[in-house]
Amino acid sequence: MINEEATAPQLVRFNCFLCAACCGMYATVEGDQITKVVADRDHPASHGYSCKKGRNIPRVHHAAHRIDRPRIGGLEVEWTEFFDDLATKLHRLKDEYGPDSIAKFSGTGTFSVNELFAMHTFFGMVGTKSLYSSLTLDVAPLMRAAELVTGFTQAVPVWVPDEPASTLTVVVGQNPSVSGGYVGTPATNFNDRVRAFRKRGGEVWVIDPRATRTARIADRHLAPRPGSDVFIFAWLARELLRDGFDADELETACDAGDVENLRTVLAPFDLQVATHRTGLEERDLLDLLAAIKRHGKVSFLPGTGISFSPDAVVTYWLIWVVSILTGSLDRQGGMRFLPGNNAMMDGPQWEGHAPEGGSTGPGPASRPELGEIFTERPSVAMVDEIEAGNIRALIVVGADPIGAAPDAARLRAALATLEVLVVIDILEWELTEIATHVVPCTWQTERHDMRFLPQYGFERAYVSTAIVEPGAQRRHVWQVLSAVGSRMGFDILSVIPGVDAETVTDRELMYAITRLTCADAEAVFEAGIDGRDVDFRYGWFHEKALPGGKWRLAPRVLTERLPGLVLRSDVAGPRLVNGRTIESVNSSHYGITNGEGAPRIRISADVARERAIETGDRVRVHTGRGEVTGEVLVDPSMARETVWIAHGWHSQNVNRLTDPAPDLLTGQPSVTAVPVEVERITT
């Protein structure tokens, strides 16, 4: 007899955590099949918004190339054999070569509360310092600048468009209308909230070489030359120090010597320098400055266009400077800081500020000049460590090092030489073909999760539910690492009181970890999928967090870079900029139809005209390091000398074009503003 109740369609309400927007959704489930996903029109934050990624969840969940069974050396095995084999090999390598021979590379696919806990605890108990992630390929400049100015890496100012006193925001080098936001950006239902912000009199500016979807809903769009943003903010800071600064902020929260030092080092960055370097008209820059003075306070939303640039850490610092000069941080009408709990706002003064030159640690043996960054090693050093024989085993968790790191061909060749290469993922891809061990892990559809990340600018906390039970032989990452750890002689779950590794469920573990890490856990649980705003009050960051109650306005490691910027020769010619499409999150292309290729390469009209290139032609984009080919789209909205290629695609891997040499202050290489040449392919 058929159990009609078991097969009848069920509606499951959940939050989509594929990007920072965390949209409310409904899934239609028939048996173990997810047949449809639509937006939740009654969700109090997303209000019925959804994108292709979220609506495409059923196709990804049931994809033909979903990983269903564990493999060793390309052969399917049972879980017991898999755990025994992997634990034995890791244990031997640790004994023979030391714990640092076992390395980790992780990415945004691990942004799940249970998985993050398990990963950090497992590698901590292994004792390895060979920790790598996309952090030093993405957000390291943002975090370093925050650390240098405040003493803490995770001091992220957040703009909330619903704040009545907020009247001016400037989006810089990001496209949150498409990407779902970056650190500090209000990602949930961004477009509607910006439209409402403008409707009540708010003003939005976008600074980007391309007229993005975000630029199309703004009041003004400035299209500077790629990589020249640093000159905009140096000039703005210079002018505001002369006229337009918040006198109370400078007197009470800044060192007078720092202010005078800034006036001196910024003096050369006059309007002529700014217009020459950026390609912008004087009127554009003067209008932006006038808008900041007129509104008094301003909120800046920088993104990967800044993070990936050669002068990223200096640009981020200057954005902090302009924000501080205008009294726009931790003050009504500007940006807020979100605490992890109320004790951070109301308890004792914060301690543990980083040194004024930034925190660092010893680098890996093969690249000692690349110091440890925020408890991790710069990812550009990983290939050197493998080639030197210092890394013998690598566990890749929810990440794509080939699509994220420079020198992709060299890295892939090095990965193939590892004694142990573990890939923990949901879909088959290039690395699963060469992995010694392949782990079929659960996806967001099969796991319970919680989002409480105020340190990254998430203004709202959510608890979401699994849509279906784990299918095939898939297991949660925490289950896999727990099983391997127990065979290596340690229990990663032992640090959580009352949790039994043999019986705990995914949901129970999520609740237990949340209670340990979130002081407001019970309120978050009660809010559930609807979510709740993170508590805060203006002024608390000044009172509790600033070192000695003052901003470190002029860190020497940054001010000493400014003279070189002015003197640096200005090389003409096309420059590469990065981007993302609404279908993708970095190298995870959740919204792409099967067989659909990489997005077209976009080039500015002047680049096309000078090379007799038309839309639909195939082109070769190249540097001295490599090349990328693809179909082209001539985009007249882009700034002169601009070439746009979406990042995260192996078929058009921008890392073939880039220099792997990192900024030693951040450990991160540049991916944008890279000089390139473009040629039409004639055959």
The answer to the question of residue 351 being in a domain is no
Phi, psi (5° rounding) for residue 142?
Answer: -60, -45
Q: In the predicted model, is pLDDT for residue 453 greater than 80?
A: no
Report the distance separating Cα 13 and Cα 30, nearest Å.
Answer: 14
358-383 pLDDT, tens digit each: 999 999 999 999 999 989 999 999 99
C-alpha 23/C-alpha 55 separation (Å) is: 11
Q: Per-residue pLDDT for 4 more than 70?
A: no
Count the domains in the chain: 4
**What's the average model confidence in pLDDT over 269-295?**
98
CA distance 201 to 111: 36
Same domain, 311 and 387: no
Q: What is the token pair recorded at 237?
A: 């800071």
At 680, list the tokens.
């039409």
For the stretch 59-99, pLDDT in tens is 999 999 999 999 999 999 999 999 999 999 999 999 999 99
SS3 category, 199: helix
Across 182-187, average pLDDT: 75
| pLDDT digits 0-9 by tens, 7-48 | 689 999 999 998 888 999 999 999 999 999 999 999 999 999
More confident residue, 1 or 543: 543
CATH number at residue 130: 3.40.50.740
Instruction: Give the pLDDT of residue 2.
Output: 41
Residues 6 or more apart in contact with residue 576 via CB below 8 angstroms: 226, 621, 643, 644, 645, 654, 657, 658, 671, 672, 673, 674, 675, 676
Same structural domain for residues 498 and 609? no
Tell me the residue type at 207.
I
% of the chain with per-residue pLDDT over 90: 82
Tell me the per-residue pLDDT of 50-63, one tens digit each, with 9 for 90 and over: 988 899 999 999 99
Mean pLDDT throughout 290-296? 98
Per the CB < 8 A criterion, the answer to whether 474 and 441 are in contact is: yes
Residues 163 and 261 in one domain: yes
Which residues have C-beta within 8 Å of that of residue 682, sequence separation ≥ 6? none
Q: What local confidence, expressed as pLDDT, does residue 183 receive?
A: 80
In a domain, 405, yes or no: yes
Whether residues 55 and 76 fall in one domain: no
Does the residue 208 lie in any domain? Answer: yes
Report the predicted TM-score, pTM, of the whole model to 2 decimal places.
0.95
CATH number at residue 249: 3.40.228.10
| Claim to verify: residue 381 and residue 517 sit in the same structural domain | yes
Which residues touch 577 (CB under 8 Å, ≥6 apart)?
Answer: 209, 210, 226, 305, 642, 643, 644, 645, 672, 673
Contact 443, 469 (CB under 8 A): no
- Residue 37 has what pLDDT? 97
Has residue 586 been placed in a domain?
Answer: yes
Rounded CA separation 605/209 (Å): 13
Residue-wise over 187-211: b if at least 16 C-beta within 10 A, else e? bbbbeebbeebbeeebbbbbbbbbb
Residue pair 397/421 in contact (Cβ under 8 Å)? The answer is no
Say yes or no: 43 and 94 in one domain.
no
Together in a domain, 408 and 444 = yes
* 310-324, 413-427, 529-543: range with lowest mean pLDDT: 529-543
Distance CA 613, CA 313 (A): 35
Q: Residue ranges of the alpha helices (H) in 151-246?
A: 176-179, 190-199, 213-216, 229-242
pLDDT 10s digits, 322-359: 999 999 999 999 999 998 777 788 888 999 999 999 99
User: pLDDT grade, residue 460 (50/70/90)?
Assistant: confident
Please report whether residue 487 resides in a domain.
yes
The distance from CA 548 to its chain's CA centroid, rounded to whole angstroms, is 30
- At 553 the pLDDT is 98
Sole residue written with tokens 């890749």: 396
CA distance 131 to 377: 6
Question: What was the pLDDT predicted at 111?
Answer: 81
Per-residue DSSP letter, 225 = P
Is residue 424 in some structural domain? yes
Give the helix ranges, DSSP H, for 220-270. Answer: 229-242, 247-253, 256-266
Partners of 608 in beta bridges: none
- The rounded distance, in Å, linking the Cα atoms of 607 and 326 is 39
Q: Residue 309's domain spans which residues?
A: 157-337
Residue type, 463: V
**In terms of domains, do 111 and 48 share one?**
no
Mean pLDDT, the chain, rounded, equals 93
Tell me the H-state helices in 427-476.
430-434
- On whether the CB atoms of residues 229 and 644 are closer than 8 A, the answer is no
Are residues 596 and 470 part of one domain? no
Last residue of a domain, one of 518, 533, 548: 533
* Size of the chain in residues: 683
Collect all residues with Cβ–Cβ distance below 8 Å to 78 and sequence separation of at least 6: 70
For residue 180, give every residue at least 6 positions away whose Cβ sits within 8 Å of its Cβ, in sequence order, or none.
Answer: 18, 19, 20, 21, 51, 187, 190, 585
280-294, 550-564, 639-653, range with the lowest pLDDT: 639-653
Confidence of residue 569 (pLDDT cuts 50, 70, 90): confident
Which domain CATH number covers 45?
A: 2.20.25.90
Same domain? 193 vs 333: yes
Instruction: Pick from 106-110, 183-187, 489-493 the range whose average pLDDT is largest.
Output: 489-493
Q: Does 599 lie in the same domain as 502?
A: no
The residue-averaged pLDDT of 615-637 equals 96
Confidence of residue 584 (pLDDT cuts 50, 70, 90): low
Q: Is residue 674 exposed (0-12), middle (13-18) or buried (19+ Cβ within 10 Å)?
A: buried
The one-letter amino acid code at 94 reads: K
Residues 501 and 623 grouped into a single domain: no
Residue 349 lies in a domain: no
State residue 1's pLDDT score.
37
Range list of H helices, 447-505: 477-488
Cβ atoms of residues 531 and 461 within 8 Å: yes
CA terminus-to-terminus distance, the chain:
64
The domain boundary residue, chosen from 40, 62, 84: 62
Q: What distance in Å separates the CA atoms of residue 176 and residue 649, rounded to the nearest whole number?
A: 20
Task: Please work out, in degrees rounded to the nearest 5, the angle formed at the alpha carbon of residue 100 by the alpha carbons of 96 and 105.
Answer: 130
For 511-527, how does the pLDDT look when each residue is reduced to its tens digit (9 = 90+)?
999 998 887 888 889 99
Q: Which of 337, 357, 385 marks a domain boundary?
A: 337
CB 314 within 8 A of CB 107: no
pLDDT in tens, 196-210: 999 999 999 999 999
State the pLDDT confidence band at 624, using cuts at 50, 70 and 90. Answer: very high
CATH number reported for the structural domain that contains residue 653 in this entry = 2.40.40.20
In a domain, 553, yes or no: no
- Residue owning tokens 């440890």: 372
CA distance 562 to 313: 12
Compute the distance between CA of residue 311 and CA of residue 562 in angstroms, rounded to an integer: 10
